[in-house]
Amino acid sequence: MIVKICGIQTCEAASTAAEAGADMIGFVFAPSKRQVTPETAKTIAACIPATVKKVGVFVDASPSFMQQIAMEVGLDYLQLHGQESPAIAKKLSLPVIKAFPNHQINDQIATYPCEYVLIDGTHPGSGNTFDWQLLDRLPVNRNKLLLAGGLAPDNVQQAIRQVQPIGVDTSSGVEINGQKDRTRIQAFIQAAKATLKEQTFITREEDCIDNLYNANKGR
């Protein structure tokens, strides 16, 4: 289970996420209360191991601007959170995460040139969830799906069980009074990773039952 903690603004928050087992951290370079400068992001990036992937979040920025910041900061992924066309994504040299608000998903989601598709809430960053059952009617490849939108320590396990994404993403869900909270970051990552272990156990148990059934059937 990929876990991404987005909206990172301090070395402390980044280090907490890394130590707790986060796979990705996100820097917001678009206008936002969580926006950071390339200089700040570069400093924070130096605080975490290279195994934790660094994601730059942009909204309708030019390819040259994104590439420049990616090189300066040392980004591993570019997350496109606006109306970027597939042509824009193809111009980028780094893997792309394409974000779609749940109410704006169309057929493009199945063919968009990206490593991951991120499905967010209606108002990204608001901390509000959406009806996850909507994804049952959409052409979403679960092996590329990162789920976001109001995820927090107390609902991330339910979200994973219901949606079956390859990863989860949160920002406001691990904050208190607009600031990343150490305890909530740790709790979120622990809950998400524990769900993966639970699913693995269930799958292995089902395999054992199937094997036992097949063995007895052959007698």
What residues act catalytically? Answer: 6, 120
Rounded to whole angstroms, how far apart are CA atoms 177 and 10?
A: 15
- Give the distance, in angstroms, between the CA of residue 60 and the centroid of all CA atoms in the same chain: 19
Rounded to whole angstroms, how far apart are CA atoms 179 and 176?
A: 5
Q: Which residues contact 85 (CB under 8 A, 6 or more apart)?
A: none
Q: Where are the alpha helices (DSSP H) in the chain?
A: 11-20, 38-45, 63-73, 86-90, 156-163, 182-217
CB atoms within 10 A of CB 109: 19
Report strand pairing: 116-120 vs 167-170. Answer: unpaired
Q: How many CA atoms lie within 13 A of 180 on its CB side?
A: 23
Rounded to whole angstroms, how far apart are CA atoms 198 and 190?
A: 12
Rounded to whole angstroms, how far apart are CA atoms 122 and 134?
A: 12
Whether 16 and 174 have beta carbons less than 8 Å apart is answered as: no
